[in-house]
Structure 1
Amino acid sequence: MTATETAPIRTTPPSAAAARPHDARRRRRHRPEPFTIASYLGVGAFGLVCLIPFWMVIAGSLTAESVLSQRGYSFWPDPFSVDAYATIFAGSRVWLSYGATIFITVVGTAIAVASTSGIAWVIARGLPWLSKPLAVFTYIPMLFTGGLVPMYILITQVLQLRNSWFAVILPLVIAPFLVFVQVSFFRGTPQEILDAARIDGAGELRVFFQIVLPLSKPVIAVIALFYAVTFWNEWFHALLFISEPAKYPLQLVLQNLITSVANAADLGTTTAAPVYAIRLAMTVITIGPILLAYPFAQRYFVKGLTLGASKG
């Protein structure tokens, strides 16, 4: 018997041989690609560029007025001072403005979401002699508007809404772009579910409120967030239609502070107001609450936009 015949033959177990390509693919899968690394670096750099000015505004609002007027902005508040915030909240103007802005945002968003959902559902239903004219009527404001003078006459003389918060709400109730986003989403609702509900005896209102709206939470959250940001940041219509300082929304107070010399009368206080620091502090107070609303709608935001854009 030769040595070749007596030597044991070494074989690789089938399971191990099959596992090697799998392990190699797993290692390649977990290895980050250059494009992924570049994307993370680019997004991180962009986020840092957006965050730095915001942080400098916060730091400037917490810096003493004398240092801020001499040195300008800095990354760290040195010396630390809360005089601007103390001046803002010492009077009643900011509290009244907060109440006005919260009312405009909450009531305006509720009315806008209800109106947009109703119009979008009628357009999406494709009803003869109704859906198409309503779609055209909604599309026209995306191309042109009636103008500032007719709107001013309508609000002040026809509707008699001068010095009313509804003068700020009503011109912004319907956003045509958001209507068509919701129309695209409604058209993607499974028709089998709607037909089953109608066979069971559900009317049109019951189908809409108990079936369509619960299925449309993502897109409703998206349009509600858009409307809330719009109403929260609105100051132009308040400048046109509201002349009573006690009814000024927060953004109009901030606009008055930016375009004029800040003084104690702007905030309803009797103390000397730090000019530069108080503008920065008002900016932080104004944008803070709306930034806190984004995390609650974040999980619906991307989903609602992508579904509304792809279905239809």
Structure 2
Amino acid sequence: MHKRSPSERIAQLFIHLILFAFAVCCIYPFIVTFMVSLSSEKSILFNGYQLIPEQFSTLAYRMVFQNQFIYTGYGVSILVTVVGTLLSLFICGMAGYAMSIQRVRYRNVVAMFFYLPMIFNAGTLPWYLVCTQFLHLQNTVWALIVPLLVSPFNVFLMRNYFATVPASLVESAEIDGCGVMKTFVKIIIPLSKPIIATVALFIGLMYWNDWSSALWFIDNTHLYPLQYMLYRIKSIMDFVRQNGAMGGTDMPAATFQVATLFVTIGPIVLLYPFVQRYFVKGIMVGAVKG
């Protein structure tokens, strides 16, 4: 075993101290924000944000969980995130796999069709008309899923990763009688867990944080996702605070917003540990090779 010299130990200690300081800088705002959600509105208005609030209060959280639309929003967001992530992974994966096969004719032409929307787009109005007049997505849960199904960036990430799979494996599977779909499911997917986990994280975050689709297409309150409800709550609380309605400083406007924020980020925070080990490998190989 290599014995570290005093200079190496000092350098390692110095690196650990830097990383520790960086971690504290990242965690400290999160802790302060959480303590704000447990503060009373008066203490926030008079004393500002503090690590240890002068007056503790759980009124904001009680108001959050007494709102029945929070539970409805959670259900809609979970449904949209799960269904949208699975469908988008399937579509982006199949498109990326098709473009990664060397013998597929016009695969570069197909890649160009995916590449052009990354640079040019037709604008908001044509997109809105297609979704409402041709696809008839207005006031349906599919309005929260379909417009975000295909991401050219994710397609190219998966294509570049699939291109690193040895062609001999695919040829062996075809000799054994596997078709294209069976080869993709039995060979490509098991070998591509890093990029699949990475892209799944990207897609899941996109669907979970999306609120603009509901703003454009949804009028039914029972179909509001969680993030759009957070946007509406913020607008209402800003109006309350500016106009002094509903009791002025007794209304937990700031603390309510922060409490709602912590309630909404819970599932996504829990998702990170499961995909973190795949993230670096997936994004590096998918972005560089091919």
User: Same-fold call, TM > 0.5?
Assistant: yes
Letter in 2 for 1:139: Y
Find the aligned partners of 1:208 and 1:87 in 2 and give their Cα distance. 49
- Within a 5 Å distance, the mapping from 1:203-282 to structure 2 comes to 203-261=179-237, 274-282=252-260
Q: Which residue of 1 aligns with 2:110?
A: 134
Cα displacement string for residues 261-303 of structure 1 (whole angstroms, at most 9, x for unaligned residues) = 2699xxxxx9985211100101111122211110110111111
- 279-288 or 64-73, which moves further after superposition? 64-73
Decide which of 118, 122, 140 is 2:98's aligned counterpart.
122
Give the Cα separation in 2 of the matches to 1:129 and 1:194. Answer: 17
Match of 2:177 among 198, 201, 221: 201
The amino acid that maps onto 1:60 is: V
Paired residue for 1:184? Answer: 160
Q: What runs of 5+ residues in structure 1 fail to find an aligned partner?
A: 1-22, 265-269
2: CA distance between counterparts of 1:232 and 1:44?
Answer: 30
Match of 1:311 in 2: 289
Distance in 1 of aligned mates of 2:43 and 2:270:
30
Larger radius of gyration: 1
Amino acid corresponding to residue 196 of structure 1 in structure 2: S
2:9 maps to which of 19, 26, 32: 32
Q: What TM-score do you get using the length of structure 1 for normalisation?
A: 0.84
Gaps of 5+ in 2: 241-245
Distance change (3 Å), C-alpha of 1:250 and 1:105: same
Check if 1:57 corresponds to 2:33: yes
Q: What is the identity, as a one-letter code, of the residue corresponding to 1:27?
A: R
Given candidates 291, 302, 305, the residue that maps to 2:269 is 291
**1: CA distance, partners of 2:15 / 2:159:** 33
Q: What's the CA shift string for 1:225-284, capped at 9, x where partnerless?
A: 0100111000111111111222111111111222332699xxxxx998521110010111
Higher deviation after alignment, 38-47 or 102-111: 38-47
Amino-acid identity (%) = 36
Q: Do the aligned residues in 2 keep the contact of 1:263 with 1:275 (CA within 8 Å)?
A: no
> Aligned in 2, Cα 1:210/1:306: closer, same or farther, shift over 3 Å?
same
Three-state SS of the structure 1 residue aligned to 2:154 is helix
* Amino acid in structure 1 at the alignment position of 2:162: F
Contact 2:40 2:55 in 1 (8 A): yes
- 2:251 and 2:64 map into 1 onto residues whose CA distance is 8
Please give the alpha-carbon distance, in whole angstroms, between the structure 1 residues aligned to 2:95 and 2:251: 48
- The answer to whether the Cα contact below 8 Å between 1:97 and 1:247 also exists between their aligned partners in 2 is yes
CA root-mean-square deviation: 2.3
Shift in Å, 1:45: 2.8
Q: 2:131 aligns with which of 152, 155, 158?
A: 155
* Preserved contact between residue 113 and residue 220 of structure 1 (Cα < 8 Å): yes
Per the normalisation by structure 2, the TM-score is 0.90
Q: What's 2:243 paired with?
A: none
Q: 1:137 to 1:29 in 2, by over 3 A?
A: farther
Residue 168 of structure 1 and its aligned partner are, at CA, apart by 2.0
